[in-house]
Amino acid sequence: MKKIKPSTRPEKDRYYLNIAKEVAERTTCMSVKIGAIIVRDDQIIATGYIGTPRKTSDCLERGKCLRRELKILSGHRYELCRSVHAEMNAIINAARAGVSLLGGDMYTHGTKIYQGQNKPFNMAPCFICKKMILNAGIKRVIGNTEDGKYKIFNVEDWIKDWHERDMLDDLDLYDAQYYEKEKTKKK
């Protein structure tokens, strides 16, 4: 009888995170690639990546980043960006398809690509995305970390934390740190 090799099959969270990483390849941002998928009942129900609103020109097509032109720090002034975040696009795409997100999980993967980098960073939703995730009824967010692992955020914990402290005290903030490092070099 032949001996069966142990399975190299990835566990579920890693499997879905790998799919989010692939979705990120469609990103039109010049600084980061971020992809998001929403899974409910072990089925992918929506995907999203960083990209401009449908039928509008993105930064790659224009050859420049508006935020960088305005010297806006990473993690600040999201409204001054041509793109919509991956998490938002996944939620929007589910709405366009008429799919409920209640009780689902969101998987997000982010990689820095600014100035030729190609390295993962600690993925965490911004405040705007966190509020949308909370209101959409998503129960967990799983994001990659810079060391190749992942972190699980329980949305219920955000609610509890924001009751006790202000949301501005949140420790898990999105910050790809593409501009601060460049600014620090100049000093």
SS3 7: coil
22 sits in which H/E element: helix 12-24
- Phi, psi (rounded to 5 degrees) for 14: -65, -40
Residue partners of 7: CB distance under 8 A and separation at least 6: none
How far apart are the C-alpha atoms of 170 and 23, rounded to whole Å? Answer: 27
| pTM for this prediction | 0.86
The per-residue pLDDT for 186 is 44
Give the residues across from 120 on adjacent strands: 111
For residue range 101-133, what is the model confidence (pLDDT) as tens digits?
Answer: 999 999 999 999 988 899 999 999 988 899 999
Q: Could you state, in chain order, the average pLDDT of each consecutive group of 10 residues for the chain (187 residues)? A: 75 97 96 96 97 92 89 82 95 96 98 91 91 96 96 94 74 56 44
Task: At 29, list the tokens.
Answer: 């941002």
For β-strands 105-112 and 140-144, DSSP reports them as parallel
